[in-house]
Amino acid sequence: MKKNVFLLILCLFVVLTACGKQQTSSNPHEKEEKASFYKKENQERYQAYQKQMPDLSFKDVILRVNIGLDQPYYTHTVESPYQNTNQLLVNKYYYLGEDYVPKNLVELDGTYSKGGIYLVKEAAQAFQKMVDQAKADGYSIRAISAYRSYQYQVHLYQRYVDQDGQEEADTYSARPGFSEHQTGLCVDVDNRVMDFNHFEETKSFQWMMENAARYGFILRYPKGKEAITGYQYEAWHYRYVGEEIANDIKEHGMTYDEYYMEFIDKE
């Protein structure tokens, strides 16, 4: 008799444990669904994209779908919120209008640029401080391009399309309104000696990798992140986001697109 009771208890225990386990594993995405960046209206897109990209974590799926990467570039586009702030996101889904000209544009002093280069004041001040420190450490950095108007991008993009065709041009040049240069918050640099597209090979680049975040700048289009940023690796293109965000991004090895979706985008 005693043996039977024991067996009964054992069976109950096994059944209850199994039920418990099933309950906790019934929704493996529970944690992500509670996250602030999970958008219920995107649920079906998350599922479809996860099937396309089985190796991505569910969190990465959410962030990439929120960016818009499950849909072709330049489709389902949104006018960028956070205009005239350091949080402004511009990429192949987030654009600025034809009339958007950032407030507080200032011209960089000639000792920091090749001349006629404009940045938003806060970014300009941070840039000059950064270049001063680089110089003190023995490295040369100069701005060769920063703010570009919508109209300028119209001409630039058209020139690339005429030269290489639209498909190729889209891999390295932004369509008008979709260029981060229109924000006045980013800057292309060289070391005054080598052409900008060899910047990666310079010691100035190494210095930037170590120190740029301390001045609020991030490498905006890193190597290996092309599928997220939508751009080829650009060792010369830096974006001002402010010190706090720049340090976070550097520490976590994220792109600004992902950071924006995880921490800034609140709708």
Residue numbers of the site for Zn ion (CB under 5 A)? 188, 237
Residue 122's SS3 state is: helix
The partner residues of 95 in beta bridges, in order of sequence, read 79
CB of 111 to Zn ion, least distance (A): 21
Which among 55, 27, 19 has a CA at the least distance from the CA of 43? 27
Considering the candidates 234, 243, 244, 258, report the single residue annotated as catalytic.
234
Residues 215 and 131: their CA atoms lie apart, in Å, by 10
Q: How many CB atoms lie within 10 A of CB 162?
A: 10
Residue (65 or 90) nearer to Zn ion, CB: 90
In sequence order, what E strands does 185-240 have?
Answer: 186-190, 217-219, 237-240
Residue (70 or 180) nearer to Zn ion, CB: 180
Residues 105 and 183: their CA atoms lie apart, in Å, by 10
CB of 221 to Zn ion, least distance (A): 8
Residue (64 or 237) nearer to Zn ion, CB: 237
For residue 30, CA distances in Å to 25, 26, 33, 45, 230 come to 9, 9, 5, 17, 30
CB of 23 to Zn ion, least distance (A): 51
Tokens of 240: 């001002």
Residue (65 or 219) nearer to Zn ion, CB: 219
Residue (146 or 213) nearer to Zn ion, CB: 146
234 is catalytic: yes
The partner residues of 237 in beta bridges, in order of sequence, read 188
Residue (188 or 190) nearer to Zn ion, CB: 188
| Distance of alpha carbon 6 from the chain centroid | 60
CB of 253 to Zn ion, least distance (A): 21
CB of 257 to Zn ion, least distance (A): 15
Task: Determine which helix (DSSP H) or strand (DSSP E) holds 11, and give its type and residue range.
Answer: helix 2-25
Question: Torsions phi, psi of 239, nearest 5?
Answer: -115, 135
For residue 71, CA distances in Å to 49, 51, 92 come to 10, 14, 11
Tokens of 181: 């240069």
Tokens of 124: 């300009």
Residue of minimal Cβ distance to Zn ion: 237
CB of 236 to Zn ion, least distance (A): 7
Q: Which residues are catalytic?
A: 234
